[in-house]
Amino acid sequence: MSEDVQLVQRCLSGDELSMRAFLGKYQGLVFSLCFRMLGHREDAEDVAQDSLVRVFRNLEKWDQQRPIKPWLLTIAANRCRTALEKRSKLPSQNDLAIDLASERREHSKHEQDQLDIGEELELALGELRDDYRTCFVMYHQEELSYQEIGEVLGCPQGTIKTWLHRARAQLARRLQERGVVADPSALETT
């Protein structure tokens, strides 16, 4: 029996310590996705909290034969989509939503000259379309497969593959626009 299965079974019995351990292990994952999708810290906290309570409420529905990470992210992604729909119906709320990219840009404006290529990538990520950014982060950060990302986002694998390809291409172009270049020696014949 896997460690996750044992932890979940203790959570199902209502053991608070186990529930806290579960949260310690997975709340960062859920919040990270919410923050990437919503681009606003307070909104992300609220949606992540809602998602995690839903996780505990529906924990018995998790198929213990499958990894738990995609299941958690599916719940979080669904809640984020619902939050984004509500936000789109409330135009005045758009003003309150701080765009993740501009927040990052403001935060690091004075440090832009010192950014390394990894930090440049993080900055460029904030400017991506939500779907592409989520897809890129799930693949490269959370290491989910195409199939798992497709289940989380409710899309076919082909769509995920296309989104990931476009995300990489757009990121590369943004990096080039900012003057970041690849190692030129790689383009030279040896």
State the burial class of residue 22 (Cβ atoms within 10 Å of its Cβ: 0-12, 13-18, 19+).
Answer: buried
42 interacts with another protein by CB under 8 A: no
Q: Do the beta carbons of residue 168 and residue 136 sit within 8 Å?
A: yes
115 interacts with another protein by CB under 8 A: no
Interface residue with another protein, options 65, 92, 114, 189 (CB under 8 A) = 189
Q: Angle 157-177/130-140 helices, nearest 10 degrees?
A: 100
Q: Do the beta carbons of residue 53 and residue 27 sit within 8 Å?
A: no
Least distance in angstroms from the C-beta of 151 to another protein: 18
Rounded to whole angstroms, the Cα distance separating 148 from 161 reads 12
6 interacts with another protein by CB under 8 A: no
Q: Do the beta carbons of residue 84 and residue 71 sit within 8 Å?
A: no
186 interacts with another protein by CB under 8 A: yes
81: three-class secondary structure by DSSP: helix
Q: Which is nearer to another protein, 65 or 190 (CB)?
A: 190
Query: Judged by CB under 8 A, how many residues of this single chain contact another protein?
Result: 47
Interface residue with another protein, options 7, 19, 135, 149 (CB under 8 A) = 19
Where does this chain touch another protein (CB under 8 A) — which range of 64-72, 74-82, 149-157, 161-169?
161-169
Q: Do the beta carbons of residue 151 and residue 70 sit within 8 Å?
A: yes
Where does this chain touch another protein (CB under 8 A) — which range of 77-85, 106-114, 116-124, 148-156?
116-124
95 interacts with another protein by CB under 8 A: no
Report DSSP state, residue 188. S
3-state secondary structure string across 136-154: HHHHHCCCCCHHHHHHHHC
168 interacts with another protein by CB under 8 A: yes
Residues near another protein, by CB under 8 A: 13-16, 19-20, 23-24, 27-28, 31-32, 35, 41, 44-45, 48-49, 52-53, 56-57, 116-118, 120-122, 137, 140-141, 165, 168-169, 171-173, 175-176, 180-183, 186-187, 189-190
